[in-house]
Structure formats: structure tokens, C-alpha cells
Structure 1
Amino acid sequence: MRNPFHTDTLEPDQPFCNRARELRELAGHARNGMNVVLFAPRRYGKTSLVTRVQHQIRAEGICVIYAQFMRLVSVEDMVHRLAKAIITGLHEHESLLDKGKRWLAHFPSLQVNLSIDSATGSISIGVQLVRANIPPLEALEEVLEEVGAFLEKEDFLVCIALDEFQDIVDIKEPRVEAMLREHIQRHKASYIFLGSRRRVLLDIFTNKGRPFYQSATMMELAPLPEGECVDFVVQQFRRAGKQCSQDAALAIVRKIECYPYYLQALAYRAFEQCQDNCTVEDMATAYESLLANERYGYQAIIQGISTGQLKLLRGIAKEATAQITASAFLQAHGLSLGGVQAARKHLANQDIIEQDEQGEWRLVDPVFREWLVRTF
């Protein structure tokens, strides 16, 4: 029998837990031409949610465009990703091999190459700049101007999603942000700006000194409701031909603190572990398997931070507290005041730690926290 749980980006036809309200809101904003900032920790289901929303509104005749900005390395990289996303989105709205080919005239700066796989019939799209040696910022402005002119001439709605948008700051070109804002504010389209480095993303839109200040509706993905998580796990087991007790499902949900990625990942392993009926013991075994599997990613995180940052991370993992600059905490974990302040800023900007509503610092990822405590 096929496992009903998935740990990658969920396709529109795959099981999706809750988010009915968020789906309605995002679809409504897209129909109304509103811009939205969608933020949440990494692996919280943002991309899956937007994929589902865009699939829904595409069926209504809205053209959808999706660009991934994760780990941008240069302005040239951004131009290429954005240009390809635009052409791909237009092709999906109306084939560039058919009537849609008329749109290419609106993008004179781009050379588009289409190739058809004779075996599968699938179409590959290649996009490059007509002027190969054009300065990157000039190329970006040309593409943005062409998008704006295109949107003015066409009468259908367009929804453009820019995933991990905050990574524009990593290319170290301050003029990019102002240029994007200048053009996006004139575009007849709805933009969804997604991001998981929340402090960096929110500063782009809430800092009065930055171009995108108060230019979009803010929307945070909250943890999934516990009861709906339990129901989701029980129902998915049942639909796949197995049983999962309420107690076992609740144990899964509470162990991962309603974290969307881990809900799927732990339930996936519990489904594989059990025979016909998932028990609390099956869940416990599955959790150990999950920890073993995830350790490679956790090791990569700690290898990429300084000794002082690791000390602070270990301290917060052991004791969530608001007093991380208190002398007792510093002494217990071998830290200095200056070291804590620098480490806190870096770890928070990377969305590894956060302050909760009570002001206590904690790890964002509950399974990473467990691994840290056990490892150190």
C-alpha cells in the first residue's frame, strides 16, 4: 500500500493539512491585485500553499508566474531566474507554440528557445538575454519595464510569486531593492513575496528607510492547529488502508509541536514502521529514525556557524530563556556579553532562533532542538 505522507513540496492533488483560511485569503488577494508578504519558518509549507493557490486561480483564467530566489548569487542570476519564470508562466497560460507566441514581441530583450522532446512531447524553455554583455542592472530594468508594458496591454489577471524574496539582500547590490519597488508598484499584477528568513524579510517591508516599506499586506503562517493535525494523520492512515489511534496521532503531533514538515515526515515513518495499526510505540521508533535521518542537515548548520554561535545555540536548546545576557546564563555556557549579542543577531537573522510571545529565546525547529540536546 502507498504511503500517503509526503516530505517534499506538495503538489495540488496531494494531501494537505488545513490552511483553508489562508488558501481563501491568498486567492482573494490575487483576484484583487493585492501584494502579500507570506512569512513563516522554513519547511512550514509556504511553497506548497502558494503552489496550491496558483493552481486554483489558474483554473479561473489567472496567469500565474513563480520565481525561486533562494540563494541568489548576483544580479545576473536574478535576471535569468525572473526572465525564465515569466516566459514559463506565460507558456503555461497559453502555449508559446500556439497563440501565445505573440507575447514574445513584448519582450525584445529576451531570446526564447523552445525544444520538444520527441519521445515524451514535453517542451523545454530556454531564455537568455539578446545583448549578452549588457550591464546587469540595465538588464534587470529592461526586463521589469517589459513586464510592466506587457501587463498594461493584456486584460487578464496575473499573480507573480517570488519565493525566498529576502535573498535579494545577499547579492550586495543596494540599487536592486529600489529598482524592484519602483517597477512592481506600477505593475498591474498581484505579487506574493515568500520568505523563511523572517527577520530579514520583514525588515524589507517594515523598515521606514527601505523602498518596500508598507507596500504589501503581511500574512504569517501560524502553527497548524493540534486537533486538525490529529484528524489529518488519522484520516490519511485510514485512506491508505491502515489504522492510527487518536493517542498515537496525538503523540506524533505533540512530539513535533505541530510543525508542518515534521508532521508529514514523522507520520511517513510511522506509517512505514507499523503493520496494520500505528501505536504510540511505533511513533517513538519512527521518531528515532527521523532524528537519524535529519542529523545530516543539522550537522551542516552547526558546521556553518562560529564557536560562540554554537555555544549560544546549545544554551538556548537546553533552557529557553529571556535572560540570555544574564551573568548566570553566560557563565553556565561559557559565553561573553559581546559574544552573545553578535551570535544572537546572526542566529535570529538566519531564522534558527526566535523570541516567543513571552520574550523567551528558543530554537525555531523543535526536532533540531532535540538533536542538539542529545548530541551535546
Structure 2
Amino acid sequence: MEESTMKRSATVSNPFTTSVAGGSDFCDRRQELAELERLVQDGQSIVLSSPRRYGKTSLALHLQARLREQGFLTVYVDFFSVLSEQDFVTKLAKAVVAGIGRGASPGNFRSRLANLFRSFTVTFEARPEGIVVSTALAPGTSPATGLDDVMEDLFSYVEKNHRKACCVFDEFQEIATLPESKRIEGTLRSHVQMHKSISFVYVGSRRQLLMDMFGKNRPFYGSSGFMTLNSISSDDFVPYIVQKFSESGKTCSPDIASLIYDHVAGYPSYVRRLAAFAWGMTETLCTKDIVEASWNALLDDTTALFEATWTGLSPIERRALTSIAVEPTSQPSAYEYLQRYHVPASSMQKAIEALKMLDLVEYDKEWHLVDPVMTAWIKDTRSNTI
């Protein structure tokens, strides 16, 4: 390799982000973004669902960035790690404070929060990277009262300042795992239905759990529209891969980019990760052999996660998952299928329902695994356990 190429490879960073994609890293989703923007501008709320790592968070944050340009107040909170009702309320309050204070100087930040948040103690510290906020329920305040107050205070701030707002509740379905979930849902809905100045985008990747929250006999029933993210088409992703290689001084032909896309069945985050491995292994020209080596690296990289998921399943659930990975089927309870994979008839349907709730399997003409890389991992490492 020539010295100039070595210097360029050492200084150019990998152009394929494997985290939240923003700016030029954001690929396509033009139609979904425009539709979400239109719905929020009309004051509607939306349930945004898809499998894990499909780009929901990137899309939601991209939406909020565009809305801020139009004067919207935006609030983003991730409930993935929520542990309790108090944790939920504290996370929400912190996100509301951060949204209201976005872009403010320390002095202006304090004035924006004046006479707000009766149930919370808010502290903040000015750091070079920005203002760091902490919130805590005031002594003697119950989480239920705190949730009522933070929602009321948020709506009061928006109306007082004559603004529209958009709140993104990421991994919203996780509150359904809390003992107080019905109370939380009821309190949130009571505020949402009384105030129309704020749109909510409820984002989730455990799709069955999320859909159940908006089903009949639940507080949120009928409160929101629904949008499902599909995979990004190869017509959009392949040119994106080619361009990213080119911009960083390397070459990936459309045929090789298509191979990257097809290897992971167009699954958005895996397309980026496989492309990132391939880019890292490429000196000047990406080849089929490099893609194959990158695929093996991706399998190695995901093994720990898949093993953790596998360990959390019951023996029957593992057998059901393995059978569907090896042989997708529209009739998992058929006698020959059950005999072939040694799953009792009485257990298969229950196992599939559990796997569906975990978003590991889905039905589209036939039952198959949601994750194409997990499918390959099971075939390579677990199919001999049947």
C-alpha cells in the first residue's frame, strides 16, 4: 500500500455509524419523516413501532430537530431502563427540564424554570458540554402526585408561552412491566386527552407489548395513530454505502454494496455494522472476500448478546426458536413439524406467544425470526441441540 493511502486510512474515521444516526449519517426515511412531521404539526399523537435497531430513535430525533427549527418545544426521554414508578417520573421530569432549558444560558435556564415543577427539586450545573440537569421528587411527594404535577406543569408552560410541543417517549412499552403501569397509563392519558397543544410519539421495539398498551380496555385505546417502520430499501441503502466508501477514499461497487445489504436481509442496523466492518478491512477496494470476513466478524460481535438472550429462555422456548430459525413455517403445530423438532404440541403455541412478546419471532405468511443474524447464529451454533 502506498504511503499516501496509509496516511489517509489512519486519519479517516469509519463513516458507518453504529449508534444513533444524525445529519449526513441519516439514510432515507424521507417519506416516514414527512408523514410524522405532518401528523405532529396537526396535533396528533403516533405510536411508532418496528423491530429493534431499525432506526426508530434516529427518525424520532431527526423529527424533533426539524420541529425545533419551526419553534416547537421538544422533549425526549428513553424509558428502556426504567425501574420503578418513581424512576419513571424522575426521568420524565428531567427530560422536560432539559427540553425547556435547551440552548439557554445558566441565567436564562433558571428564569425559564421559575414557578414550575412544584413537586421536584431541580439542580443544574453549567459544564463545557452544556447544562447538566438533575431532578428529584420533593420530600413527602408521591410518584403519582409528581407525575400529575410534571404533566400539568409541562402543559402550562407550553400554553403560557404559546408554543407547540412534541414529546418522544422512547421504549414506552417498558412502563407496562411496572406494577403501577395501569395507574401511570391512566394518569398520562387523562392529561393527554385534556390538552391538545402537545403531540406524543410513543416509540417501541417490543411490538406486542406496545400494541397491547393501546388495545381495548387500556387507557390509551383510541388516543393515537400507528406507524410501522419497514426496512430501508436497497434502492436507497446501496447508493448510500457506495457513497460513504467513496467519500472516505475507498471503493465499494454497487454489486458489493448489494451483497452487504442482502447478507443481513436489509436489516438497517446490521447493514451499517456489516458495512463498518467491511470498510475497516478495506484498504482501497472492497471485495466479496472482505464482505465474507466481515460477516464472520459480525457473527462474533453479536454472540454475547445472542447467548444472553438464549440463556433467558426456557428449554421449550429454545427448541421452538431453533425450529423456526432452521425451518420457518406457517403451521408450527403440524404433527410432522412438532415431531421433527421434538416440541410437544401442548407447548409450541405457548412458546411462540412468549417469543412473540419478546419480539424474537413474527408472522408474515409464516413464522420466522425477526433478527436475520440471530437466525444465522442459531443455525451455526444451536441447531445441533434439537
Q: Is 1:43–2:53 an aligned residue pair?
A: yes
Give the one of 72, 78, 82 matched to 1:62.
72
Contact 2:101 2:109 in 1 (8 A): no
Give the one of 5, 16, 22 matched to 1:5.
16
DSSP-derived class of the 2:114 partner: helix
DSSP-derived class of the 1:362 partner: strand
- How much has 1:14 moved relative to structure 2? 4.1
Change (3 A) 1:369 1:38: same
Question: What is the alpha-carbon distance in structure 2 between the residues aligned to residue 239 and residue 180 of structure 1?
Answer: 46
Question: What is the alpha-carbon distance in structure 2 between the residues aligned to residue 52 and residue 157 of structure 1?
Answer: 17
Give the one of 173, 184, 194 matched to 1:186.
194
Give the one of 199, 204, 229 matched to 1:195.
204
Contact 1:158 1:189 in 2 (8 A): yes
Q: Gapped runs of 5+ residues in structure 2?
A: 1-11
Question: What is the alpha-carbon distance in structure 2 between the residues aligned to residue 19 and residue 121 of structure 1?
Answer: 30
Question: What is the alpha-carbon distance in structure 2 between the residues aligned to residue 219 and residue 96 of structure 1?
Answer: 38
Partner of 1:260: 268
Partner of 2:307: 299
- How much has 1:99 moved relative to structure 2? 6.4
Give a deviation string over 1:44-97, Cα, whole Å, max 9, x none. 000011111111211222111001111322110100000000000111054452
Could you tell me which amino acid in structure 1 is paired with residue 336 of structure 2? A
Question: What is the alpha-carbon distance in structure 2 between the residues aligned to residue 337 and residue 72 of structure 1?
Answer: 37
Question: What is the alpha-carbon distance in structure 2 between the residues aligned to residue 310 and residue 121 of structure 1?
Answer: 46
Partner of 1:167: 174
Partner of 2:7: none
DSSP-derived class of the 1:244 partner: coil
Question: What is the alpha-carbon distance in structure 2 between the residues aligned to residue 363 and residue 121 of structure 1?
Answer: 41
Partner of 2:317: 309
- How much has 1:280 moved relative to structure 2? 1.4
Change (3 A) 1:102 1:71: closer
Alignment: residue pair count: 369
Instruction: Identify which range, 344-353 or 144-153, moves more after superposition.
Output: 144-153
Contact 1:75 1:140 in 2 (8 A): no
Partner of 2:102: 92
Contact 2:101 2:112 in 1 (8 A): no
Contact 1:64 1:93 in 2 (8 A): no
Q: Gapped runs of 5+ residues in structure 1?
A: none
Give the one of 93, 115, 118 matched to 1:108.
118
Provide the TM-score with structure 1 as the length reference: 0.95
Question: What is the alpha-carbon distance in structure 2 between the residues aligned to residue 185 and residue 97 of structure 1?
Answer: 34
- How much has 1:111 moved relative to structure 2? 1.5
DSSP-derived class of the 2:25 partner: coil
Question: What is the alpha-carbon distance in structure 2 between the residues aligned to residue 133 and residue 304 of structure 1?
Answer: 38
- How much has 1:100 moved relative to structure 2? 6.0
Give a deviation string over 1:253-280, Cα, whole Å, max 9, x none. 1111111100100000000112201111
Contact 1:229 1:253 in 2 (8 A): yes
Contact 2:120 2:146 in 1 (8 A): no
Q: CA RMSD in A?
A: 1.5
